[in-house]
Each structure stands twice: as C-alpha cells, then as structure tokens.
Amino acid sequence: MPFLDVPTMLLMTAAASLTMAASLGAVRPGRREGISLWALGLMMHTSTYVLYALRGLVSDWASIVLANTLLSGTFAMVLAAVHQFQGRALPWRRMAVPVAATALLFAFFIDDYRARIVTAGVVPPLQLGMVLWSLWRERPAASLRGATLLSVGLVMEVLLLGVRGMLAATRDIPVEGLMQGNAMQSITFMAAFVVVILSSLGFILMGKDRSDADNRYFAAHDALTGLVNRRSLIMALERDVARAVRLREPYAVMLVDIDHFKSVNDSHGHLAGDSVLRHVADLLRTRLRAQDLVGRYGGEEFMVLLPHTPLGGALELAETLRRAVERLPCVGGGKEIPVTVSIGVCGGPLQPADGWDRLVQGADEALYAAKLAGRNRVESTALAAPRPAPAPAVD
C-alpha cells in the first residue's frame, strides 16, 4: 500500500506554520492578546519540522533532541498565548518544566526510537491538556466559536500523539525511523498539518469574536462611566413605555444633573471632572433595583428609567439618591471634591397616546425647576390624568 511521502509532509507542515506565523506577524492588535506569542510558537513549529525533514542530513542532536524540544516549546507558547489572551500572568513553571523534561528525555532516548514515540505520546498531550484546561476553566463566552475550533485542533493532536505512543508502548510494532513511510506516520503528519491550520484559525477567531463583542458593548455603553449610552436609553425607554401602555402600568423617568460641573473642571481639571462623573455613576448604579436602568444621557446628565414605579415611589428614590451623592464626596487626586445633584422626575400612569418623549420632557421641566429653585433638590412633574370622555349630547 503506498503511503504519503514523509519528507514532503514535513516540509508542507513547516510551510503552513511559517505562512501562518508571517500572517499573524502582520497583525498588530491594540492590546496584548497573545498574537505575538502564538506567532512565535508557529516559528518554533516551523523549525521543528524543518529539522525533522533534515533527519539523516544533520546530527541526531539537532533533528531529534533540538527538534522535539522546539516542539515542546511550541506548546508552551500556545499555553502562554491563551493566558495572555485571557489577561492572566504567564505560567512560567508550567511552560518551562515540560520543555526541560522533553530535552532531557529525548537526549536520554536518542538511540531508542520506540521510547521517543512513547515520550512524545505523554509529554505533549499533557502540555496540550494544560492549554485546554486554561482555555475552558472559565467559559469563554465572548470567544466561544474560536475557542471551540481551537479545542478541536488541540484534541485531535492529543488523541493522535496519545494513540501513537500507546501503540508503541503496548504492541510489538516494527521500530522504523521517522522517514520511513507507514500508515501511522502518514496519519500523524497529515494531522499535524491540519492542526496547525485549524488551531491557528481558532485562535484568530477568538480575537475576532472578542473584538465583535467589544464593538457591541461600546456601541451601547458610555466608555467613561460604563453606563449605557443615550441611544440605548432611548431604545429601552421606547420598549418599556410601549409595554407600560399595553399593561396600564405606572412608569417614571428621572433626570439627574451634576450641580456646577463646569466649575469642577475649571477648578480641579478635566481628570477630576471625569472622576466626578464616574463617582456619581457608581453611586446611582449601586442604589437602584435590578429592574431599573441608569445611563449617561449626555454631558454631566444621567437618566434613570423606573418601570412599574408610581410617581411617589420615584420621588422617594430620587431623594435617597440626592442625599447619597451629597453625603459621599468624590475622592480624586488625594483630595475630596464635594458633589451635589439636581433631579427632575416625571411619572404616572401612561395613556395609549403617550410616548416616551412626554416622560423625558416632563422630567426635563422638573429638572429645570430644581435648578431654578437653588439646585441640590428634587422636583417632579406628574403626567396629566386622562380626561373623561365627553358626555353624549341630550336632545
């Protein structure tokens, strides 16, 4: 039975690794996402398979010991890339110990081909197992597709190396050199080619999935405070008001404005102003119910959406928030910056003809009244009660 030419497969795998490494080298992400470490691993993988292909033309120390040490280093770089992608410290011990063990074992078994196959069926699968554990120890929700594709490639490699090592350890198989073509060699090296492509594409897809998730997040959130932005607030308000009208539930909207914010910027600088915005945002966020929604409406103004809330309940909450901001000054640059807010509230039962803009307009009018009355206070505007239907004319 004809088998695939081993040197050709080795060089094909080396070429695939080199091409993928060069492609990744051209990628310059805005943050450390493991791309450079993955590319370095692919370069080591390229060197490994070039040395394999030179078996018999270079010393055994180069084509056996150095080559397999580089292969172990490849898997160490894969582990490092996954950790860096996840924003965790590199696991230097788990990276270095298998590489050192591989170098020592292959040096010791340099003349024992069967023992080398068994070693390759134990150490690299353990390394890849650590990669898989690191990848899935916390569900990678933002990069699930890429993590799955990467895992498929790694599991393929683990199974092939493990089965190959187990057969060498338990069966009386012919002990042939690396360059001798047989079914197991053909399957192993063809799989190595596939794994390089599959795993690298999986890692690239992880980065793309994360970027897509980040884009969706920043399209809906304010970058400074982490609150939802004006667009998201209006979308939620439209949806909530339609539901409140349909179910005849009370609804309230609150507009919160930081008092004298311009003077904070003028007196303490814009960085202090940013700290004040984040401070107020955190106070609002941590004192609301799970069903409520707070967002940055614009500038130093925040909007709070209060479903299932009558005007009286909204006023009580507004006063609680006002007092919390007044009692807790913002600490920035080693000094305290006193902060107060003015709050306008509009709420009540909604009628079929009411739109979300009516609530916002009412809250804005109440906020203007709070500022006019001296700031650091709460004012409200009630939605007008429905007018009774006119009585039928009596002839």
Q: What is the pLDDT of residues 188-234, one digit of tens each?
A: 778 888 888 989 999 988 888 888 888 888 889 999 999 999 999 99
pLDDT, one tens digit per residue, over 75-102 is: 999 999 999 998 899 999 999 999 999 9
Q: Return the amino acid letter for 184.
A: M
pLDDT, one tens digit per residue, over 115-124 is: 998 999 999 9
- Average pLDDT estimate for 164-186: 67
Instruction: Give the confidence band of 327 by pLDDT, cuts at 50, 70, 90.
Output: very high
pLDDT, position 256: 97
Higher-pLDDT residue of 190, 323: 323
